[in-house]
Amino acid sequence: MSRLKLDLPSAFSFSVSLPLRISDINYNDHLGNDAVLRLVHEARMQMFNAHGWTELNVDGVGIIMADAAIVFKSEGFYGDVIRIQIAVQEITSAGCDLFYLLTNEKSGKELARVKTGIVFFDYKARKIVAVPGAFREAFVGRG
């Protein structure tokens, strides 16, 4: 069986450090697979907040997740501080891909690579809309 492979971009435009909480740890005493998506969600929220946006208001429209992929590289444990770097890539007419690199700040060990695809969404009209100009301006030509 072939394994999923995620090639990361060479540059990232945002970084945040988050401690692993007890709720992130599974019954095997390490970072749970379900917690990885919660961690990247928090990192994405912080990236949006740094630009003055929320997931419901990026220059007047919201986002919706279209897909997600995770490649696990090593274990994380309670109390570890995880650096999450984000790169915005493949901006299309209605969305983009976000790539995340999760590393242990202390050891430098890579924990996971994640990609989420998002599309911009008008929640009142219940339809996909064009990428807002402010978002495009913030990330075109950057990692």
Give the model confidence (pLDDT) of 44-57 as tens digits.
Answer: 999 999 999 999 99
Domain covering 14-139 in this structure, CATH number: 3.10.129.10
CA–CA distance from 24 to each of 20, 63, 67, 123 (Å)?
6, 25, 21, 30
Q: What is the mean pLDDT of the chain?
A: 96
Q: What's the whole-model pTM score? A: 0.95
Q: Report, as an integer, the average pLDDT of 97-107.
A: 98
| pLDDT of 143 over the 80 cut | no
How distant is the alpha carbon of residue 71 from its chain centre?
13
Stretch 6-22: mean pLDDT: 96
Dihedral sign computed on CA atoms, order 37, 71, 11, 58: negative
Per-residue pLDDT band at 1 (split at 50, 70, 90)? confident
Helix (H) / strand (E) element for 19: namely strand 14-19
Domain ranges of the chain: 14-139
